[in-house]
Structure 1
């Protein structure tokens, strides 16, 4: 039975939109949040063996398993403790950043709405959803670097062909999330505005009062690769790449030391992607039931 005294907020990502920074900022304030009745759970919880949200709430084969019906209420109580608000953050829940083995990805997070619907049904609770979006060319660049950091080596041109800019359709994703049964309030912001919006994002996630205890981490968590590091990885990858090759190259030639960030796109491609991004944001802003956060101008 739905517990109207409980609120569930779920930061679903997307990947490469300062998710680690947000998660670590929340984790560092978890004791203060708990004292305010806000229980935070992130990747350090949900990526333990057998502890994914799907496993915790008995979601199997696209639906909640019947035999877990009684256990779900117990599971919510265990997570909730004496609190009134559950805050989750786990970008892997809505799908992978990249396909295994570098295969093509025409539509990103295509199962996100269905997965949230299944989770809401299993919990018998509405879930307020929080999502960050990012400039498409920068998102693809970051996804490529993440693939290299994971030990999968592929030429830039091949990756871009398998992951076209058209695969980054934020408006389509937000529309699917908005239409998904079980999704409550839906809040969206641009990665590019994350720093300016940090306090507002936290207020939405944990509540106005509790947000005062969440202080942003002072630095970036997961830096991308420099152009020199990517060049080094591609030159050294044959015949058998070392899984640590890209991570070592990032340490040797970091962006922080003045090395130019990797960029696999020409200026005209950025312009095309930015025009598409602007249209997507305009469409998102007009969607009923969606809050697109914007910095205060001036």
Structure 2
């Protein structure tokens, strides 16, 4: 049995992965092999996906997965970068396609895992909030300073979740796609875990505090001003300083890069996309 938790990025994936990693040995004793980002990146999964299924990295990754999951009835892989990255054009292509290479990459991972057909797990998020959080991630990695160049002319309210899901559903080796809204994650988390792991193993998963706390508005404003004024600054160091000086714990307001009109339009677009996703073949949509 094969399950792929695809993320997407900035939809509480890290929180779920950290929770699973806490009890990885116990899951293994229960017959489930869990491989998260750290394990899969050590297997050079990213290089295998870039170079294709016949490449040496792909063969090595296939062998590593086989050895990792030996003597386990279930294999769960969790890595949001299977879909693609969050750099410009990687997350959303110039033509507006979300994770443009996701279909090929997911198909290849299923082939490398060698466990037959797969169940996919995917979380959706409001478009404007999704774009803002993905941009903030690139800021924290030292890759971006300002929002407009990262958006490269895209409307931040237009994230075609339905197109992505339709492409994933078209993969013959995908049996089912379990989908939920990021906004419902806290309430749905026990059910998501039961579907991923089974009721008995799901009961082992601890509840952890939130991870990946983003920049505050004051922190981003300070970072942007300093970064634009001094091209010699190490952006990653600058971001860490901004996070320490202007934290949420100190009472600073969360990051907000879009106005009320954009957020309202985004909510409408999100509702339409969710309706289309619900109607897609192979989808099991979870509601609170």
TM score, norm. by length of structure 2: 0.89
Aligned to 2:216: 226
Residue 212, structure 1, aligned to residue 206, structure 2: no
- Where 2:86 maps in the other structure, the secondary structure is coil
| Equivalent in the alignment of 1:240 | 232
Q: Is the 8 A contact 1:140 1:163 kept in 2?
A: no
1:248-289, Cα deviation, whole Å (9 max, x unpaired): 201111123221111111101101011000001011111121
Alignment of 1:73-152 (within 5 A): 75-99=64-88, 105=94, 106-124=96-114, 125-152=116-143
Partners in 2 of 1:82 and 1:133 — Cα distance? Answer: 33
Indicate the residue corresponding to 2:271 in structure 1: 278
- Work out whether residues 102 and 159 of structure 1, in 8 Å CA contact, stay in contact via their aligned partners in 2: no
The number of equivalent residue pairs is 283
CA positional deviation for 1:45: 0.7
Structure 2: gaps spanning 5 or more residues: none
Cα distance per residue 1:37-64 (max 9 Å; x no partner): 011110111122xx13366xx6663334
Query: Aligned in 2, Cα 1:92/1:173: closer, same or farther, shift over 3 Å?
Result: same
Q: Which one is further off, 236-245 or 18-27?
A: 236-245
| CA contact 2:35–2:77 (8 Å) conserved in 1 | yes
Q: TM-score, normalised by structure 1?
A: 0.87
Can you give the 5+ residue segments of structure 1 that lack an aligned partner in the other structure? 1-6
More off after superposition, 164-173 vs 131-140: 164-173
Q: Which moved more, 1:36-45 or 1:59-68?
A: 59-68
The one of 8, 12, 18 equivalent to 1:24 is 18
Pair 275,68 (structure 1): closer, same or farther in 2 beyond 3 Å: closer
The one-character-per-residue Cα deviations of 1:207-253 (angstroms, maximum 9, x if unpaired) are: 22211111221x11100110001100111012223221112201111
